[in-house]
């Protein structure tokens, strides 16, 4: 009788690998926030995560790539591999018929993302001046933001409900500027605005800039 080969189930191994990756990213986030980028080492991240340094290098390659992984985690708010356009807040904006309500929904979600991600953005932005490996990561963040704002601007403009003098490029640039970490840093981190005050300001400013 021919031997029946059992099919190999790799789901357990994939889940273990995903769990290790989550632990490494969480450890890096903790150490970057506490010690800064330069003082944090791959070895210290591995030790905090309970894995080998070799596995960290194998999974991420460089400390700069690890910083980008931390940003991706905090901007999304979770570790789920779900594209931004398929997340609940993006779908709610797409489904909303009124453009002012769309902008309000976006501003509220953007403010929440700033709370989670501002520290990492600033770490990458400022860290690139002392560690050139972060320059490419920072440029990637800017490019990703511009891409996202291009998509949102195109959607908002297609409603026909924005100010008549605005084209898609200007809508994109206004969105790209107003949600920058620099404005959050000035108002919340430097001037001490509360999240509610910042969210109200961002909503009012975007609606005023974009809508009749």
Residues of the chain with CATH 1.10.10.60: 10-61
- Predicted confidence at residue 2, as pLDDT, reads 52
Parts of the chain with a pLDDT under 50? none
- In degrees rounded to 5, what are phi and psi of residue 38? -65, -40
Can you give the three-state secondary structure of the chain, one letter per residue? CCCCCCCCCCHHHHHHHHHHHHHHHHHHHHHHHHHCCCCCCHHHHHHHHCCCHHHHHHHHCCHHHHHHHHHHHHHHCCCCCCCHHHCHHHHHHHHCCCHHHHHHHHHHHHHHHHHHHHHHHHHHHHHCCCCCHHHHHHHHHHHHHHHHHHHHHHHHHHCCCECCCCCHHHHHHHHHHHCCHHHHHHHHHHCCCCHHHHHHHHHHHHHHHHEC
Q: For position 126, what pLDDT does the model report?
A: 96
Predicted pLDDT of residue 3: 53
Q: Locate CATH 1.10.357 in the chain.
A: 64-210
Q: Which fold has domain 10-61?
A: Arc Repressor Mutant, subunit A (1.10.10)
CATH fold group of domain 64-210: Tetracycline Repressor; domain 2 (1.10.357)
Farthest CA pair distance, the chain: 79
Q: What is the CA radius of gyration of the chain?
A: 21
164-173 as b/e, with b when 16 or more CB fall inside 10 Å? eebeeebbbe
């Amino acid at each position: 009788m021919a031997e029946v080969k059992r099919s190999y189930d790799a789901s357990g191994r994939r889940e273990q690998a995903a769990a290790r990756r989550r632990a490494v990213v969480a450890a890096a986030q903790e150490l970057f926030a506490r010690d800064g980028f330069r003082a944090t080492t791959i070895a210290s991240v591995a030790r905090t995560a309970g894995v080998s340094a070799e596995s960290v290098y194998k999974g991420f390659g460089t400390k700069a790539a690890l910083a980008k992984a931390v940003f991706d985690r905090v901007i999304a708010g979770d570790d789920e591999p779900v594209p931004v356009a398929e997340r609940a807040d993006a779908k709610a904006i797409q489904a909303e018929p009124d453009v002012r309500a769309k902008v309000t929904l976006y501003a509220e979600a953007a403010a929440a993302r700033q709370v989670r991600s501002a520290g990492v953005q600033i770490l990458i932005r400022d860290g690139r001046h002392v560690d050139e490996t972060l320059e490419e990561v920072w440029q990637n963040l800017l490019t990703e933001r511009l891409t996202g704002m291009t998509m949102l601007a195109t959607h908002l403009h297609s409603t026909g409900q924005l100010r008549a003098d605005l084209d898609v490029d200007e809508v994109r640039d206004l969105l790209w500027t107003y949600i920058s970490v620099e404005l959050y840093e000035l108002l919340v981190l430097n001037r001490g605005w509360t999240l509610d005050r910042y969210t109200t300001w961002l909503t009012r400013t975007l609606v005023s800039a974009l809508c009749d």
